[in-house]
Amino acid sequence: MNTMRKAWPIPVLAAAAVCWGSTLAAQDKDEQEGNQAAVAKAVLGARVPLERGLAASASHGQAISAKFEIEDGKLQLSVYTMKDGKFFEVVVDHNTGKVVKAEPIAEGEDYTAAQSQSAAMAKAKGSLRAAVEHALRGNAGFHAISVTPSLKDGRAVADVTSQRVRSSRPFPCRYSNECRGC
């Protein structure tokens, strides 16, 4: 009888943990969607397009991804670069186009993402800037919000998220080495 009393909390606690985890995952998704909308709205006031941020970061290595994001409640243009086998996060001022800071990426999720992006760029036939320009060509009135490379079936592809200048709704586009338009 004493054993039975000790055994029942384990399934109850396990069920509670699953419910709590599901709730956190749903909250995370809501926060992510809310953050995307906030970024899309804030980008409307940026003077520097993503393409210029990619060019500005070149002094810190090859760009391997770039995005506008909200950091500490403020819009920033973040570019991940690779130079001499090391990864950096380069922050470009979205009003002036000048590099504000460059910090090494040496661990954590950012490092894992940088490794994956670097592997994709190693197989790419062009630059991220070219991918963004290609995605925006023929889409007058759109600005890029982010560009992220990845490998799909062994081929490099660049996911470009853009938005209409007068809209706060993001629009995804996938560009690959064999892209024939978006």
pLDDT tens for residues 127-179? 999 999 998 997 888 889 999 999 999 999 999 998 887 655 555 555 554 44
**pLDDT of res. 35:** 75
Rounded to 10 degrees, the C-alpha dihedral 122/50/79/161 comes to -70
Please calculate the CA angle 45-47-53 and round it to the nearest 5 degrees.
120
Q: How far apart are CA 172 and CA 144, in angstroms?
A: 9
Mean pLDDT within 63-69: 96
Mean pLDDT within 79-95: 97
Q: Which residue has the tokens 């979205």?
A: 94
Mean pLDDT within 110-139: 93
37 has a pLDDT exceeding 90 = no
- pTM to 2 decimal places: 0.74
